[in-house]
Structure 1
């Protein structure tokens, strides 16, 4: 599938070393890379449909300090969608109140009919982009019914419900950012870890160094982070994803189709 990474802190920090370690995993995730940082309240996004270790563009980025309070990264192993730039993460989209949302995803949606209508609306052809479009539609509906902007807590509660439902029979390791809150969710064992220290809060698909402080992200819950702290935690749902031979065959068949086999 993919690997995902985020850094969340109360002040900008340089994180080149962690990013270099993360992107070194691209041999097993060769179908694209992405990087998103916040600068002056806007996302700066770079991504390419090439292996991270082969990207001169990424090499140039990492040759300079990468500094930020909110930084997200992704390396892709395609389980749905072609190997093209529009299918690389992160995905970004604005809601009706001009709030920018970003999403990166490690997993696969095997069955969720509510996403089907977004196949004609998305830029690429991934289930991950459809998740973001669906979430934004639901936020728009909520704010229209309210007649005004949602609070941070209202958005967290709404996404808790949506992600709990989306996670049924689907692998849904997600990182989402709405300009205020970073959302973290995992529903598969030993696929997402976090490290909290004086620099901030770091989350990654696998530990990125030998620090003994890395811990597994608690499954089946949504967490909300601000300034390196967990400020919201949802109730636990029951939708743990367990990988089966059927899932493996699904992925293998898709990879063969990408290579024309």
Structure 2
């Protein structure tokens, strides 16, 4: 599927070494790369539908210090959606109150009909982009009913309800940022790890160093991070994703529709 990365800290830090290690995994995830770095309350987004190790643009970026408090990265192994730029993560969208939301996803949505209406609304054709558009609509509905902006805690509680519901029979490793809060969720064993140290809080699909303090992310919970610390932690849901034969067959069918450019390999 994909690999995802997040760095969250209270002060800007350089993350080139971790990013280089992360993007080196692109041999097994050749269908695109993305990088999001929040600067002055706005995300600087770079992404391409080619293998990260073949990208001159990414090499140019990593030849200079990549410094930030909130940095997200993605390498794609496509299961849903063509190998085109609009399908590369991260996805970013503004809600009705002009708050920017960013999402990266590792997984596949096998069963969630509520996302179908977004097929004609999204820029690309991925289930991941549809998740973000669905979340934005739910946030807009909540704030319209409330008649004012949501608080950070209200948004966390709303995202908890959405993510818990989405996680039924779907692999849903997510990293989301709403301008204030970073949301982390995993519901499959051995598919997300974290490292907490003096530099900040780092989360990745696989450990990015030999540091023995990397630990598996706790499953079936939503976490909210600010400034390198867990601010919110949900209760545990019961929707652990276990890959079954029917999932493998579905992924195989999805993959048959994808045209891969072998010249990138």
Q: Into which bin does the TM-score normalised by the smaller protein fall?
A: over 0.9
Deviation sequence 1:156-187 (CA, Å, 0-9, x none): 00000000000000000000000000000000
Look up the match of 1:222: 222
Which residue pairs with 1:71 in the alignment? 71
CA contact (8 A) 2:83 2:259 kept: no
TM-score (norm 1): 0.98
| CA deviation profile, 1:68-110 (whole Å, cap 9, x unmatched) | 0000000000010000000000000000000000000000000
Give 3-state SS (helix, strand or coil) of 2:119's partner: helix
8 Å CA contact retained: 2:13, 2:199: yes
Structure 2 distance, partners of 1:252, 1:63, is 37
Q: Which runs of 5+ in 2 are unaligned?
A: 261-265
The residue aligned with 1:93 is: 93
Give 1:54 shift: 0.3
Q: What is residue 13 of structure 2 aligned with on the other side?
A: 13
TM-score with structure 2 setting the length = 0.97
Distance in 2 separating the partners of 1:119 and 1:259 = 19
Is 1:147 paired with 2:147? Answer: yes
**2: distance between equivalents of 1:258 and 1:144?**
39
Once the two structures are superposed, the pairs formed by residues 1-261 of structure 1 within 5 Å of their partners are 1-259=1-259
The Cα RMSD (Å) is 0.8
Q: Distance in 2 between matches of 1:21 and 1:259?
A: 27
Structure 1 gap ranges (5+)? none
Deviation at 1:144, TM superposition (A): 0.4
Asked if structure 1 preserves the Cα contact closer than 8 Å seen for 2:82 and 2:259, the reply is: no
SS in 2 for 1:120: coil
Superposed CA offset, 1:122-164 (max 9, x none): 0000000000000010000000000000000000000000000
Deviation at 1:253, TM superposition (A): 2.7
Give distance in 2, aligned partners of 1:155 and 1:117.
23
State how far apart, in whole Å, the 2-side matches of 1:31 and 1:220 are.
28
1:254 CA drift (Å) = 2.4
